[in-house]
Amino acid sequence: MKYDVYGIGNALVDKEFEVTDAFLAAHGIQKGMMTLIDEARQQQLLAGLSETFGMKKRASGGSAANSIVAVSQFGGKAFYACKVANDETGEFYMHDLHAAGVVTKLDQVRSANEGVTGKCMVMVTPDAERTMNTFLGITADFSEAELHLEELKQANYLYIEGYLVTSELSRAAVLKARAVAQEHGVKTAMTFSDPSMVTYFGDGVRQMLGNGVDILFCNREEACTFTGKSDLEEAISAIKPYAGKLVVTLGGKGALVVDGSGRTEIAAHPVTAVDTNGAGDMFAGAFLYGVAQGMDNARAGKLASLAASRIVTVFGARLSKEAHQEVLAAV
Protein backbone atom coordinates (compact mmCIF):
# COMPACT_ATOMS: atom_id res chain seq x y z
CA MET A 1 0.00 0.00 0.00
CA LYS A 2 1.10 3.57 -0.69
CA TYR A 3 -0.07 4.70 2.79
CA ASP A 4 -0.29 3.01 6.17
CA VAL A 5 -2.99 5.44 7.28
CA TYR A 6 -5.14 7.92 5.36
CA GLY A 7 -6.80 10.36 7.75
CA ILE A 8 -9.72 12.76 7.41
CA GLY A 9 -10.48 15.47 9.92
CA ASN A 10 -10.49 19.13 10.78
CA ALA A 11 -7.57 21.38 9.93
CA LEU A 12 -7.01 23.71 12.86
CA VAL A 13 -4.02 25.79 13.83
CA ASP A 14 -3.61 25.40 17.59
CA LYS A 15 -2.70 28.49 19.58
CA GLU A 16 -1.69 27.26 23.01
CA PHE A 17 -1.69 29.15 26.30
CA GLU A 18 -0.96 28.36 29.94
CA VAL A 19 -3.90 29.80 31.89
CA THR A 20 -5.49 29.81 35.33
CA ASP A 21 -8.76 28.28 36.46
CA ALA A 22 -9.83 31.80 37.38
CA PHE A 23 -9.48 32.88 33.74
CA LEU A 24 -11.72 30.05 32.56
CA ALA A 25 -14.32 30.86 35.21
CA ALA A 26 -14.23 34.59 34.48
CA HIS A 27 -14.88 33.98 30.78
CA GLY A 28 -17.52 31.27 31.25
CA ILE A 29 -15.38 28.58 29.62
CA GLN A 30 -16.27 24.94 30.34
CA LYS A 31 -13.09 23.31 31.60
CA GLY A 32 -11.78 20.13 30.00
CA MET A 33 -14.09 20.25 27.00
CA MET A 34 -13.94 21.28 23.34
CA THR A 35 -16.45 24.06 22.69
CA LEU A 36 -17.29 25.47 19.27
CA ILE A 37 -17.35 29.29 19.15
CA ASP A 38 -17.80 31.93 16.46
CA GLU A 39 -15.04 34.13 15.08
CA ALA A 40 -16.01 37.20 17.12
CA ARG A 41 -15.84 35.22 20.38
CA GLN A 42 -12.50 33.75 19.36
CA GLN A 43 -11.02 37.18 18.61
CA GLN A 44 -12.21 38.40 22.01
CA LEU A 45 -10.69 35.39 23.74
CA LEU A 46 -7.46 35.62 21.79
CA ALA A 47 -7.00 39.25 22.78
CA GLY A 48 -7.50 38.41 26.46
CA LEU A 49 -5.25 35.36 26.34
CA SER A 50 -2.46 37.16 24.50
CA GLU A 51 -2.55 40.15 26.81
CA THR A 52 -2.74 38.15 30.04
CA PHE A 53 -0.59 35.11 29.34
CA GLY A 54 1.15 35.32 25.96
CA MET A 55 1.00 32.53 23.38
CA LYS A 56 3.13 29.54 24.30
CA LYS A 57 3.09 27.68 20.99
CA ARG A 58 1.52 27.53 17.54
CA ALA A 59 1.19 24.26 15.60
CA SER A 60 -0.93 22.59 12.95
CA GLY A 61 -3.53 20.56 14.76
CA GLY A 62 -6.87 18.87 14.75
CA SER A 63 -7.45 15.53 16.45
CA ALA A 64 -6.83 13.26 13.45
CA ALA A 65 -4.02 15.48 12.18
CA ASN A 66 -2.13 14.96 15.44
CA SER A 67 -2.58 11.19 15.10
CA ILE A 68 -1.51 11.21 11.45
CA VAL A 69 1.62 13.19 12.32
CA ALA A 70 2.46 10.55 14.94
CA VAL A 71 2.10 7.78 12.33
CA SER A 72 4.50 9.65 10.06
CA GLN A 73 7.02 10.47 12.78
CA PHE A 74 7.20 6.84 13.90
CA GLY A 75 8.19 6.01 10.32
CA GLY A 76 4.84 5.22 8.71
CA LYS A 77 3.44 6.53 5.44
CA ALA A 78 0.56 8.91 6.05
CA PHE A 79 -1.87 11.06 4.06
CA TYR A 80 -4.20 13.71 5.48
CA ALA A 81 -7.30 15.05 3.74
CA CYS A 82 -8.55 18.34 5.17
CA LYS A 83 -9.52 21.89 4.21
CA VAL A 84 -7.71 25.18 4.80
CA ALA A 85 -8.14 28.64 3.30
CA ASN A 86 -5.84 30.65 1.09
CA ASP A 87 -4.51 32.72 4.00
CA GLU A 88 -1.33 32.90 6.09
CA THR A 89 -2.69 30.41 8.62
CA GLY A 90 -3.56 27.93 5.88
CA GLU A 91 -0.09 28.22 4.37
CA PHE A 92 1.47 27.67 7.81
CA TYR A 93 -0.71 24.61 8.33
CA MET A 94 0.26 23.06 4.99
CA HIS A 95 4.00 23.58 5.47
CA ASP A 96 3.88 22.33 9.07
CA LEU A 97 2.24 19.04 8.04
CA HIS A 98 4.65 18.57 5.15
CA ALA A 99 7.61 19.20 7.47
CA ALA A 100 6.31 16.33 9.62
CA GLY A 101 6.38 14.01 6.61
CA VAL A 102 2.62 13.90 6.02
CA VAL A 103 1.44 13.88 2.41
CA THR A 104 -1.45 16.24 1.55
CA LYS A 105 -3.07 17.83 -1.47
CA LEU A 106 -3.32 21.16 0.32
CA ASP A 107 -1.37 22.98 -2.40
CA GLN A 108 -4.46 22.36 -4.58
CA VAL A 109 -7.08 22.82 -1.86
CA ARG A 110 -5.63 26.01 -0.35
CA SER A 111 -5.20 27.90 -3.62
CA ALA A 112 -8.91 27.49 -4.45
CA ASN A 113 -10.37 28.56 -1.12
CA GLU A 114 -11.06 32.06 0.04
CA GLY A 115 -12.12 32.32 3.67
CA VAL A 116 -10.54 31.77 7.06
CA THR A 117 -8.53 28.76 8.20
CA GLY A 118 -9.81 27.20 11.42
CA LYS A 119 -8.11 27.94 14.73
CA CYS A 120 -8.27 26.40 18.18
CA MET A 121 -7.46 28.18 21.43
CA VAL A 122 -5.88 25.51 23.65
CA MET A 123 -5.87 26.59 27.29
CA VAL A 124 -3.86 24.52 29.76
CA THR A 125 -4.41 24.93 33.50
CA PRO A 126 -1.84 24.15 36.23
CA ASP A 127 -3.36 20.67 36.72
CA ALA A 128 -2.34 19.90 33.07
CA GLU A 129 -5.97 19.73 31.92
CA ARG A 130 -6.55 21.06 28.43
CA THR A 131 -9.61 23.11 27.46
CA MET A 132 -10.32 24.02 23.83
CA ASN A 133 -12.41 26.74 22.23
CA THR A 134 -12.57 26.27 18.48
CA PHE A 135 -13.62 28.41 15.53
CA LEU A 136 -13.84 25.93 12.65
CA GLY A 137 -13.64 28.49 9.86
CA ILE A 138 -13.42 26.86 6.45
CA THR A 139 -12.85 23.38 7.83
CA ALA A 140 -16.57 23.31 8.74
CA ASP A 141 -17.12 22.97 4.99
CA PHE A 142 -14.88 19.90 4.58
CA SER A 143 -16.71 17.86 1.96
CA GLU A 144 -16.40 15.06 -0.57
CA ALA A 145 -14.53 17.50 -2.83
CA GLU A 146 -11.52 17.38 -0.49
CA LEU A 147 -11.37 13.58 -0.09
CA HIS A 148 -8.83 12.70 -2.85
CA LEU A 149 -10.30 9.23 -3.19
CA GLU A 150 -7.49 7.82 -5.35
CA GLU A 151 -5.17 8.27 -2.38
CA LEU A 152 -7.66 6.58 -0.04
CA LYS A 153 -7.83 3.53 -2.29
CA GLN A 154 -4.09 3.03 -1.74
CA ALA A 155 -4.20 3.02 2.08
CA ASN A 156 -4.16 0.25 4.65
CA TYR A 157 -6.39 2.18 7.07
CA LEU A 158 -8.89 5.02 6.81
CA TYR A 159 -8.91 7.03 10.05
CA ILE A 160 -11.95 9.18 10.86
CA GLU A 161 -12.06 12.01 13.37
CA GLY A 162 -15.21 12.22 15.50
CA TYR A 163 -15.22 16.01 15.40
CA LEU A 164 -16.42 15.83 11.78
CA VAL A 165 -19.87 14.94 13.13
CA THR A 166 -20.68 18.62 13.78
CA SER A 167 -21.07 19.42 10.05
CA GLU A 168 -23.63 17.87 7.71
CA LEU A 169 -21.23 18.30 4.78
CA SER A 170 -18.44 16.61 6.68
CA ARG A 171 -20.64 13.71 7.79
CA ALA A 172 -21.54 13.13 4.15
CA ALA A 173 -17.82 13.09 3.30
CA VAL A 174 -17.23 10.50 6.04
CA LEU A 175 -19.95 8.24 4.63
CA LYS A 176 -18.48 8.57 1.12
CA ALA A 177 -14.99 7.76 2.36
CA ARG A 178 -16.30 4.76 4.29
CA ALA A 179 -18.09 3.41 1.21
CA VAL A 180 -14.99 3.75 -0.98
CA ALA A 181 -12.81 2.19 1.72
CA GLN A 182 -15.12 -0.80 2.00
CA GLU A 183 -15.23 -1.23 -1.77
CA HIS A 184 -11.42 -1.27 -2.00
CA GLY A 185 -10.60 -3.38 1.05
CA VAL A 186 -9.34 -0.48 3.17
CA LYS A 187 -9.87 -1.04 6.92
CA THR A 188 -11.61 1.72 8.86
CA ALA A 189 -10.72 3.21 12.25
CA MET A 190 -12.54 6.00 14.07
CA THR A 191 -12.19 8.04 17.23
CA PHE A 192 -14.99 9.71 19.21
CA SER A 193 -12.52 12.60 19.76
CA ASP A 194 -14.28 14.28 22.71
CA PRO A 195 -17.14 13.58 25.17
CA SER A 196 -19.05 16.56 23.78
CA MET A 197 -19.35 14.86 20.39
CA VAL A 198 -21.25 11.86 21.76
CA THR A 199 -23.18 14.08 24.18
CA TYR A 200 -24.55 16.55 21.62
CA PHE A 201 -24.23 14.67 18.31
CA GLY A 202 -24.97 11.07 19.29
CA ASP A 203 -27.21 10.34 16.31
CA GLY A 204 -24.60 11.72 13.91
CA VAL A 205 -21.88 9.61 15.54
CA ARG A 206 -24.02 6.50 15.06
CA GLN A 207 -24.54 7.46 11.43
CA MET A 208 -20.77 7.75 10.93
CA LEU A 209 -20.19 4.40 12.64
CA GLY A 210 -22.73 2.74 10.38
CA ASN A 211 -22.51 -1.03 10.66
CA GLY A 212 -19.28 -0.75 12.63
CA VAL A 213 -15.57 -0.09 12.14
CA ASP A 214 -12.45 -2.22 12.35
CA ILE A 215 -10.98 -0.14 15.21
CA LEU A 216 -12.81 2.27 17.50
CA PHE A 217 -10.97 4.56 19.93
CA CYS A 218 -12.67 6.16 22.93
CA ASN A 219 -12.06 6.99 26.57
CA ARG A 220 -14.09 5.88 29.57
CA GLU A 221 -16.31 8.97 29.62
CA GLU A 222 -17.07 8.76 25.92
CA ALA A 223 -17.90 5.04 26.12
CA CYS A 224 -20.29 5.55 29.04
CA THR A 225 -21.92 8.62 27.52
CA PHE A 226 -22.39 6.99 24.12
CA THR A 227 -24.04 3.90 25.59
CA GLY A 228 -25.89 5.54 28.47
CA LYS A 229 -24.21 3.14 30.90
CA SER A 230 -22.55 4.28 34.11
CA ASP A 231 -20.59 1.04 34.50
CA LEU A 232 -17.58 0.70 32.17
CA GLU A 233 -18.01 -3.05 31.66
CA GLU A 234 -21.63 -2.56 30.66
CA ALA A 235 -20.57 0.24 28.32
CA ILE A 236 -17.96 -2.00 26.69
CA SER A 237 -20.55 -4.73 26.13
CA ALA A 238 -22.94 -2.23 24.59
CA ILE A 239 -20.38 -0.59 22.33
CA LYS A 240 -18.54 -3.74 21.22
CA PRO A 241 -20.92 -4.52 18.30
CA TYR A 242 -19.71 -1.30 16.65
CA ALA A 243 -16.05 -2.33 16.64
CA GLY A 244 -13.99 -5.26 15.50
CA LYS A 245 -11.35 -3.92 17.89
CA LEU A 246 -12.37 -1.58 20.72
CA VAL A 247 -9.63 0.51 22.32
CA VAL A 248 -10.64 2.27 25.55
CA THR A 249 -8.16 4.65 27.17
CA LEU A 250 -8.35 4.97 30.96
CA GLY A 251 -6.01 7.86 31.70
CA GLY A 252 -3.66 7.02 34.56
CA LYS A 253 -5.00 3.44 34.61
CA GLY A 254 -3.78 2.56 31.13
CA ALA A 255 -6.07 1.18 28.44
CA LEU A 256 -8.08 -1.85 27.35
CA VAL A 257 -8.17 -3.50 23.93
CA VAL A 258 -11.15 -5.79 23.34
CA ASP A 259 -11.59 -7.84 20.17
CA GLY A 260 -12.43 -11.32 18.96
CA SER A 261 -9.23 -12.75 20.42
CA GLY A 262 -10.08 -11.55 23.93
CA ARG A 263 -9.10 -8.71 26.17
CA THR A 264 -5.69 -7.07 26.49
CA GLU A 265 -4.89 -4.76 29.40
CA ILE A 266 -2.38 -2.04 28.59
CA ALA A 267 -0.34 -0.73 31.51
CA ALA A 268 0.00 2.99 32.17
CA HIS A 269 3.37 4.69 32.48
CA PRO A 270 3.08 7.19 35.35
CA VAL A 271 4.65 10.58 34.71
CA THR A 272 4.23 14.13 35.93
CA ALA A 273 1.92 15.70 33.36
CA VAL A 274 2.23 19.32 32.30
CA ASP A 275 -0.23 19.31 29.37
CA THR A 276 -2.75 16.59 28.46
CA ASN A 277 -3.49 18.16 25.06
CA GLY A 278 -3.01 15.54 22.35
CA ALA A 279 -2.61 12.54 24.66
CA GLY A 280 -5.53 10.64 23.13
CA ASP A 281 -4.47 11.64 19.62
CA MET A 282 -0.95 10.36 20.25
CA PHE A 283 -2.28 7.09 21.69
CA ALA A 284 -4.43 6.51 18.61
CA GLY A 285 -1.68 7.46 16.17
CA ALA A 286 0.87 5.19 17.84
CA PHE A 287 -1.58 2.29 18.04
CA LEU A 288 -2.54 2.69 14.38
CA TYR A 289 1.11 2.77 13.38
CA GLY A 290 1.70 -0.39 15.40
CA VAL A 291 -1.16 -2.44 13.96
CA ALA A 292 -0.37 -1.21 10.43
CA GLN A 293 3.15 -2.62 10.94
CA GLY A 294 1.76 -5.98 12.11
CA MET A 295 2.13 -5.55 15.89
CA ASP A 296 -0.26 -7.46 18.12
CA ASN A 297 -2.56 -5.65 20.55
CA ALA A 298 -0.13 -5.89 23.46
CA ARG A 299 2.84 -4.42 21.61
CA ALA A 300 0.84 -1.76 19.77
CA GLY A 301 -0.80 -0.86 23.09
CA LYS A 302 2.55 -0.61 24.84
CA LEU A 303 3.84 1.69 22.11
CA ALA A 304 0.71 3.83 22.37
CA SER A 305 0.85 4.04 26.16
CA LEU A 306 4.52 4.97 26.18
CA ALA A 307 3.99 7.62 23.51
CA ALA A 308 1.01 9.12 25.34
CA SER A 309 3.02 9.24 28.57
CA ARG A 310 5.76 11.17 26.77
CA ILE A 311 3.43 13.69 25.12
CA VAL A 312 1.86 14.82 28.41
CA THR A 313 5.30 15.76 29.78
CA VAL A 314 5.78 18.47 27.15
CA PHE A 315 3.73 21.50 26.17
CA GLY A 316 1.77 20.95 22.96
CA ALA A 317 0.50 17.93 21.04
CA ARG A 318 3.76 17.03 19.26
CA LEU A 319 6.95 15.14 20.00
CA SER A 320 10.13 15.47 17.99
CA LYS A 321 10.93 12.77 15.46
CA GLU A 322 13.83 11.72 17.70
CA ALA A 323 11.47 11.28 20.66
CA HIS A 324 9.17 9.11 18.53
CA GLN A 325 12.09 6.90 17.62
CA GLU A 326 13.18 6.61 21.26
CA VAL A 327 9.69 5.44 22.21
CA LEU A 328 9.63 2.96 19.31
CA ALA A 329 13.01 1.53 20.36
CA ALA A 330 11.65 0.91 23.87
CA VAL A 331 9.06 -1.61 22.65
* Structure confidence by residue, pLDDT tens digits, 215-257: 999 999 999 999 999 999 999 999 999 999 999 999 889 999 9
Q: How far apart are CA 231 and CA 223, in angstroms?
A: 10
Query: For the residues of 135-179, what is the DSSP string, one character each?
Result: E-GGGGG--GGG--HHHHTTEEEEEEEGGGGG-HHHHHHHHHHHH
How far is C-alpha 253 from the chain's CA centre? 21
CATH class of 3-10+62-86+99-106+142-330: alpha beta
- As a dihedral over the C-alpha atoms of residue 261, residue 265, residue 267, residue 273, rounded to 10 degrees, the angle is 110
For residue 147, give the nearest of 196, 83, 217 by alpha carbon: 83
- 255-296 tens-digit pLDDT: 999 999 999 999 999 999 888 878 999 999 999 999 999 999
Answer whether 0.85 is exceeded by the pTM.
yes
Contacts of 265 (CB under 8 A, 6+ apart): 254, 255, 256
Phi/psi of residue 136, nearest 5 degrees: -70, -30
Q: How far apart are CA 283 and CA 218, in angstroms?
A: 11
Q: How far apart are CA 329 and CA 331, in angstroms?
A: 6
- 140-170 tens-digit pLDDT: 999 999 999 999 999 999 999 999 999 999 9
CB 108 within 8 A of CB 4: no
Domain ranges of the chain: 3-10+62-86+99-106+142-330
